Amino acid sequence: MLISHSSLLLFVTGAAILLAIPGPAIMYIVSRSIGQGRAAGLLSAAGITVGTLFHVAAATLGLSALLASSALAFQFVKYLGAAYLIYLGIRVLVSGDAHMLEAAKDDRRLTRIFAQGVLVNLLNPKTALFFLAFLPQFVEPARGHATLQILELGVLFALMGWCSDSIWALAAGTVAERFRANAKLRRAQRNVSGGALIALGLASAFSGARAK
């Protein structure tokens, strides 16, 4: 790597602390795991990671700066993402038990869940601005290739996030599986999962800060 060992250690420490704090991505993944099982949660985590890599590429190429400089573009992406989360939550609430029971067995549905995770993260402008602000702090200009340094740090953060998010998905999905056989508890799971997605969408829509 182009990053020095000292800077790398500092970056990993800071990233680990940030990833340990539950945020919107973790809430989304946990809601998926509770509502549709471990497989759905793990695929959502993978989708979030792919979305993160897109944001890393945007930060590396400087595209995130365009979003940061345009309040209109920021608000448009923000509200589009919030609306999408609310839409997903409503779909979960109106779905029947069959949706939950078959989610882990339907390859097409799991592919859709993965794609939804990618889209949810892509439509979060705060993630783009987070990388734009966070990654350059650990770049060492004296070592050259600042763009490659940003890319390396971003990919490392995405991989760390994937590991962390997968642990959340497994934990939430394991707990949810124990209650899946009970019809009343399945309904409660569906309400919790759908309600969490809607709440996350509303929180995103009314959030005024531009930080992750």
Residue 162 lies in a domain: yes
For residue 81, give its domain range: 33-206
Any domain includes 145: yes
Residue 211 placed within a domain: no
Distance between CA 160 and CA 167 in Å, rounded? 11
CA-nearest of 118, 125, 128, 149 to 46 is 118
Does residue 66 lie within any of the structural domains? yes
Q: What pTM was estimated for this model as a whole?
A: 0.80
Q: Which of 126, 156, 134 is nearest to 49 (CA)?
A: 156
Instruction: Answer for the pair 201, 83: CB distance below 8 angstroms, yes or no.
Output: yes
Instruction: Look up residue 167 and give its two tokens.
Output: 């642990």
Sites in the chain below the pLDDT cut of 70: 1, 67-68, 96-108, 179-183, 185-186, 208-212
57: left (phi over 0), alpha (psi -120 to 50) or beta: alpha
Evaluate whether 125 touches 74 at the Cβ level (below 8 Å).
yes
Determine, yes or no, domain membership for 111. Answer: yes
pLDDT of 211: 38
2 domain residue, yes or no: no
Task: Indicate the SS3 state at residue 4.
Answer: coil
The number of folded domains in the chain is 1
pLDDT confidence of residue 46: 97
With respect to residue 14, please indicate whether it lies within any of the assigned structural domains.
no
For residue 3, tell me if it sits in a domain.
no
